[in-house]
């Protein structure tokens, strides 16, 4: 319940403040969002499996975001930032799909 | 992933759970807040905030400020390619337009030429009414009927003087095939009986035509000798309204080999 409220509060804050993305962070924010979504779905699946641990969730969340951004940053330095961010998005997308499939099996038994 | 712990579930072996357990846990979570939920809520708030920010930035940002160098180069290349394609397309369409215009022009020229030719031939064949400067010859029989030979002479002299169209008595158009015969009470021209006074309308250069009639021993003198009087009027504008029906030749055919 509180978690859902937190998500809502975040969205409302974003709508309310209308922050500008700093120019340096602009290439990394979309990657970070997708990485954190992956962590969130992984956490939800773990919760439904009964093995959720908040410490692990926090660590995986932060590391997901940091590693994704770091990969893209490294790619930018190497001159392959565009391709690497595409690769990261693809991998995270696959993980999100498999997590969501597990969640679906839990909730709908299908 | 810092995962020896099973929080990233796809790294861990799948443990079958009894049906309904997941739903049960979800329900419990909705009803009973815990410390863990607060942490999750904070992180979810961060996710929501970041996601909304990114969505808004994507919607607002139509400048190229945030793009990488490589992306900018790609955009530029794409634009250059598009420009090149558009220019090639423009050139192709322009050449098509030129072709069409020149073919239209030549078609129009051919059409105008054919129209001119058709007009000329129609006048020559007497198919259309004509108008123009010319003379009107009125032949009145004073003491003797008109001789056919004199009439034929007159027509020939008028043709020699450049007559372009002729009609007699407003009824018969004189053309290449016209024939003149003697008849009781007048003359037959192309099978039509005409009687005095004869009025010959001629289109051509008026002075030349008049000269063709009045020279020494010419048709006028001939008529007067025969006993008719001739009056010649030069007109600036004369209408010849009688026409002939076109006749399809039965025997003569165009010979294109010559």
Q: Are B43 and A58 in contact (CB under 8 A)?
A: yes
Q: What is the arithmetic mean of pLDDT over B224-235?
A: 88
- Does A3 fall in a domain? no
Contacts of B21 (CB under 8 A, 6+ apart): A48, A50, A106
* Residue of B8, B25, B29 to mutate when probing chain A, most A C-beta within 10 A: B8
- Does A81 fall in a domain? yes
pLDDT confidence tier of residue B11, bands split at 50, 70 and 90: very low
The pLDDT assigned to B133 comes to: 92
Q: Are B17 and A50 in contact (CB under 8 A)?
A: yes
Q: Per-domain residue ranges for chain B?
A: 69-125, 130-240
The pLDDT assigned to B5 comes to: 41
What are the pLDDT digits (tens) for B182-229? 888 888 888 888 887 889 999 999 988 888 888 888 888 888 888 888
> How close A95 gets to chain B, by Cα (Å)?
8
> How close A9 gets to chain B, by Cα (Å)?
6
Q: Are B136 and B238 in contact (CB under 8 A)?
A: yes
Least confident of B9-23, B134-148, B203-217, B222-236: B9-23
Q: Search chain A and give the residue with CA nearest B35.
A: A54
Reply yes or no on whether the pLDDT at B106 is more than 90: yes
As a whole number of angstroms, the distance between CA B15 and CA B26 comes to 18
Domain that holds residue A46: 23-108
As a whole number of angstroms, the distance between CA B188 and CA B205 comes to 27
The pLDDT assigned to B126 comes to: 85
Least confident of A8-22, A53-67, B113-127: A8-22
Q: Search chain A and give the residue with CA nearest B5.
A: A56
The pLDDT assigned to B188 comes to: 86
Q: Do A57 and B39 touch (CB under 8 A)?
A: yes
Q: Do A63 and B22 touch (CB under 8 A)?
A: no
As a whole number of angstroms, the distance between CA B246 and CA B254 comes to 16
Burial class (CB in 10 A: 0-12, 13-18, 19+), A73: middle
Q: How many helices (H) and strands (E) does chain A have?
A: 4, 0
Q: Do A54 and B3 touch (CB under 8 A)?
A: no
> How close B63 gets to chain A, by Cα (Å)?
12
Q: Are B8 and B1 in contact (CB under 8 A)?
A: yes
- Does A17 fall in a domain? no
CB atoms within 10 A of CB A65: 23
> How close B40 gets to chain A, by Cα (Å)?
6
Q: Search chain A and give the residue with CA nearest B28.
A: A1
B78 contact A CB<8A:
no
B75 contact A CB<8A:
no
B8, B22, B51 member nearest A33 (Cβ)? B51
Q: Do B50 and A32 touch (CB under 8 A)?
A: yes
The pLDDT assigned to B109 comes to: 94
The percentage of residues in chain A with a pLDDT greater than 90, rounded to a whole number, is 20
The pLDDT assigned to B20 comes to: 64
Matching residue, tokens 């700093």: A22
3-state secondary structure of B258: coil
- Does A61 fall in a domain? yes
B5, B29, B48 member nearest A56 (Cβ)? B5
CA A96 → CA A63, B23, B46, B223, distances in Å?
Answer: 16, 20, 18, 120
A86 contact B CB<8A:
no
> How close B93 gets to chain A, by Cα (Å)?
38
Q: Are B10 and A98 in contact (CB under 8 A)?
A: yes
pTM: predicted TM-score of the whole model, two decimal places: 0.47
pLDDT confidence tier of residue A54, bands split at 50, 70 and 90: confident
The pLDDT assigned to A76 comes to: 84
Q: B99 or A53, which is more confident?
A: B99
Domains contained in chain A, number: 1
Reply yes or no on whether the pLDDT at A44 is more than 60: yes
- Does A97 fall in a domain? yes
Q: Do B21 and A50 touch (CB under 8 A)?
A: yes
- Does A2 fall in a domain? no
As a whole number of angstroms, the distance between CA B19 and CA B7 comes to 21
B8, B25, B39 member nearest A50 (Cβ)? B25
What are the pLDDT digits (tens) for A16-35? 887 777 777 777 888 888 99
Please list the alpha-helical segments (H only) found in B32-68: 35-60
Torsions phi, psi for A83 (to 5 deg):
-65, -40
What are the pLDDT digits (tens) for A88-102? 999 999 999 999 999
Contacts of B59 in chain A (CB under 8 A): none
What architecture (CATH level 2) is domain B130-240? 2-Layer Sandwich (3.30)
- Does A11 fall in a domain? no
**Mean pLDDT computed over every residue of chain B:** 83
Task: Give me the sign of the Cα torsion angle A93, A96, A102, A106.
Answer: negative
pLDDT confidence tier of residue B94, bands split at 50, 70 and 90: very high
Q: Do A6 and B15 touch (CB under 8 A)?
A: no
- Does A5 fall in a domain? no
Contacts of B234 (CB under 8 A, 6+ apart): B134, B135, B206, B207, B210
Q: Are B204 and B232 in contact (CB under 8 A)?
A: no
Q: Do B70 and A81 touch (CB under 8 A)?
A: yes
Q: Do B49 and A13 touch (CB under 8 A)?
A: yes
pLDDT confidence tier of residue B14, bands split at 50, 70 and 90: very low
How far the first Cα of chain B sits from its last, in Å, is: 98
């Amino acid at each position: 319940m509180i978690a859902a409220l937190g998500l809502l509060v975040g969205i409302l804050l974003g709508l309310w403040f209308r922050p500008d993305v700093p120019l340096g962070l602009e290439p990394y924010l979309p990657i970070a969002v997708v990485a954190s979504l992956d962590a969130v779905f992984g956490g939800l699946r773990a919760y439904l499996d009964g093995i959720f641990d908040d410490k692990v969730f926090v660590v995986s969340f932060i590391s997901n975001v940091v590693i994704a951004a770091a990969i893209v940053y490294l790619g930018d330095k190497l001159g392959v930032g565009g391709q690497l961010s595409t690769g990261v998005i693809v991998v995270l997308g696959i993980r999100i799909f498999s997590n969501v499939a597990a969640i679906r099996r839990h909730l709908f038994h299908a | 992933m810092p995962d020896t712990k099973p929080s990233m579930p796809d790294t861990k072996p799948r443990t079958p759970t009894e049906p309904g357990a997941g739903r049960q846990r979800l329900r419990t979570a909705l009803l009973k807040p815990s410390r863990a939920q607060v942490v999750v809520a904070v992180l979810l708030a961060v996710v929501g905030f970041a996601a909304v920010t990114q969505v808004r930035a994507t919607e607002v940002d139509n400048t190229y400020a945030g793009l990488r160098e490589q992306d900018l180069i790609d955009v530029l290349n794409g634009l250059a390619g598009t420009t090149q394609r558009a220019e090639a397309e423009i050139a192709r369409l322009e050449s098509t337009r030129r072709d069409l215009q020149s073919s239209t022009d030549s078609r129009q020229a051919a059409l105008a030429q054919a129209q001119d030719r058709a007009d000329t031939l129609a006048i020559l064949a007497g198919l259309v009414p004509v108008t123009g400067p010319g003379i009107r010859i009125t032949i009145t029989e004073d003491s003797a009927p008109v001789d056919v030979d004199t009439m034929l002479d007159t027509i020939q002299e008028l043709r020699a003087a450049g007559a372009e169209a002729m009609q007699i008595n407003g009824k018969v158009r004189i053309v290449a095939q016209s024939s003149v015969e003697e008849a009781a009470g007048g003359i037959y021209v192309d099978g039509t009986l005409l009687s005095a006074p004869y009025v010959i309308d001629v289109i051509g250069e008026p002075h030349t035509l008049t000269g063709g009639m009045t020279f020494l021993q010419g048709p006028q003198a001939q008529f007067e000798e025969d006993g008719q009087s001739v009056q010649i009027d030069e007109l600036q504008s004369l209408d010849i309204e009688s026409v002939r029906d076109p006749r399809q030749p039965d025997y003569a055919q165009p010979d294109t080999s010559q």
